Every structure is written in C-alpha cells, then in structure tokens.
Amino acid sequence: MAYKIHKTSGNMVRLDVGGKVYTTSVTTLTKYSESMLGAMFSGRVPVQTDDSGTFRIDRDGKLFRHVLNFLRSSKLHLPENFQEYDQLLDEADFYQIDALTEAVSEMRQQRQSDERLGEPAQYIEFNFLSSNGYYELRGPKNFRMDRITDMEVPGSACD
C-alpha cells in the first residue's frame, strides 16, 4: 500500500487505529495542542495517509474509543467493570495527553478505594416512615444496616 505525506486540511479526519476505523474532527484531535495528536493534526508534523486518505496509527483500537471520547468531552466515562487501567494509561502516555493520564489515575484510585470498602460508586435510597414523619436514608448500593452505629433518628423507637 502506498503512503503519502499529508498535511491535514478540512474538518473531518478518518483514522484507522489498530484496525478500528474512527471519524472525527480536526478540532477534537487538536483539543490538547501539546499532545501527539495535537501535533499530528495541527499541521506541525507531517503525517502519512494511505491511498484513501486514512491516517493509520498502530495502537490499541479498542481503547482509542476512550481517548477519543475524552478529547470530545474532557470527561472520562468508563464502564463500571472496566479493568484495563494500565493499558489506558499507556495509551494516554503514548498520545501525551496529560489530562487523560490524570483522569485515568484518579478514577482507578477511586474505584480501588471503593472496592476495598466494598462499596460501588453507585448509591441507592432506602425510605421508611416513622411515627413522627417520613425519613430517607441514602447509602451505597450494598448498604447494610449492621454497618450503622450510633445512629439517631428523631421519633424512632431509640428516642
């Protein structure tokens, strides 16, 4: 396959990352101007395309989804059961997106902390009616009443 040196132009870019094809805007790819993608797609660095004009990057195509979504929103959204933190950190490092590296590290630390406590990050509500009125108790999804100590509820039998 013939490759040609290409300076990016236009709004939309087609990327083949590890065999997965993505289409996005130059604006998205250059959001973090000091990143590798920022350098590649701002025109500062010449890049190669194939005959169809697709840019090819030899990286993990599945994880690039998270990189691209972060570039779009500046927020990291990972599935609850996500386990590939080290690999995603490698991708963030490769693309030189410091904000993504920080976000992945923070999320991994938070989720590990939640796991140690046995508390997922999602919460559920428990509602009950006492003799003096309605009370609402909120807690982690795996909330257990036996974890509560010295709890005082006005109007309850404990008063």
Q: What sign results for the dihedral spanned by CA atoms 19, 21, 25, 8?
A: positive
What is the model's pTM? 0.68
Residue range 49-84, pLDDT digits in tens: 999 999 999 999 999 999 999 999 999 999 989 999
For the chain, which residues make up each domain, given as ranges? Answer: 4-117, 122-159
The residue written with tokens 């979504």 in the block is 69
Q: Say yes or no to pLDDT of 157 above 60.
A: no
Q: In 3D, which of 114, 115, 71, 121 has the Cα closest to residue 91?
A: 71
pLDDT computed for residue 140 by the predictor: 53
Phi-psi region of 93 (alpha: psi -120 to 50; beta: other; left: phi over 0): alpha
Distance (Å, whole) CA 152 – CA 142: 21
Structure tokens at 129: 């009616």
The CB density around residue 127, as the number of other CB atoms within 10 Å, is 9
Q: At what angle do helices 98-117 and 61-73 cross, to 10 degrees?
A: 100
Q: Which of 106, 95, 123, 128 is nearest to 29 (CA)?
A: 95
Split at pLDDT 50, 70, 90, the class of 107 is: very high
- What is the CATH code of the structural domain delimited by 4-117? 3.30.710.10
